[in-house]
C-alpha cells in the first residue's frame, strides 16, 4: 500500500519551531485518530513520541506536539535543540491493510 507523504527534510535554528507534515487519505489519517510519530537517531531504534494524533508518552518533552486536519497530520517541535536532530516518521492505522503504514521519513537538521 502507498506510504504516507512526508517532506524529505526540514531544518531550523536552535530555539525556533518547525512542523513536519504527514499526508494520507480518507482511508487512514483522515478517518482514524491512530496517528503516531517516531523519532530515530542514527544507529538507534525508533522511539514513539506521539500517539493517538496528539498524546505524548511519559518522558517525552512537551516541546513535541501533534495535530491533525483532514487527511494531514502534523508534528510540531518548538524550542528546537541540537538533540532534536534526527529522522522522524509518521504512521497511521489504515482500513486498506491489516498492517499499519509509515511515512517515508523526514530528516530534521538543526542549523
Partner 1 sequence: EGQLVESGGGLVQPGESLRLSCAASGFGFSNYWMSWVRQAPGKGLEWVANIKYDGSEKNYVDSVKGRFTISRDNAKNSLYLEMNSLRAEDMAVYYCARDQWQQLIVWGQGTLVTVSS
Between 13 and 42, name the residue whose CB sits nearer to partner 1. 42
Between 12 and 100, name the residue whose CB sits nearer to partner 1. 100
* Neighbouring C-alpha atoms within 13 Å toward the C-beta of 73: 34
Q: What nine digits make up the cell of 15?
A: 530555539
What one-character-per-residue DSSP string does 71-107 give? TEEEEEE-S--GGG-EEEEEEE--TT-SS-EEB--EE
CB of 71 to partner 1, least distance (A): 17
CB of 99 to partner 1, least distance (A): 4
79: number of Cβ within 10 Å: 12
CB of 13 to partner 1, least distance (A): 26
Between 66 and 80, name the residue whose CB sits nearer to partner 1. 66
Which chain residues interact with partner 1 by CB under 8 A? 3, 34, 36, 38, 45-48, 51-52, 57-58, 89, 91-94, 97-105
CB of 44 to partner 1, least distance (A): 8
* Cα-trace Rg, the chain: 13
Amino acid at each position: 500500500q502507498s506510504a504516507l507523504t512526508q517532506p524529505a527534510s526540514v531544518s531550523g535554528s536552535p530555539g525556533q519551531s518547525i512542523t513536519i507534515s504527514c499526508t494520507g487519505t480518507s482511508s487512514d489519517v483522515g478517518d482514524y485518530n491512530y496517528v503516531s510519530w517516531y523519532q530515530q537517531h542514527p544507529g538507534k531504534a525508533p522511539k514513539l513520541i506521539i500517539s493517538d494524533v496528539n498524546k505524548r508518552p511519559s518522558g517525552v518533552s512537551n516541546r513535541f506536539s501533534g495535530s491533525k486536519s483532514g487527511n494531514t497530520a502534523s508534528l510540531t517541535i518548538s524550542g528546537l535543540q541540537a538533540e532534536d536532530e534526527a529522522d522522524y516518521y509518521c504512521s497511521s492505522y489504515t482500513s486498506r491493510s491489516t498492517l499499519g503504514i509509515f511515512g517515508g521519513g523526514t530528516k530534521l537538521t538543526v542549523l
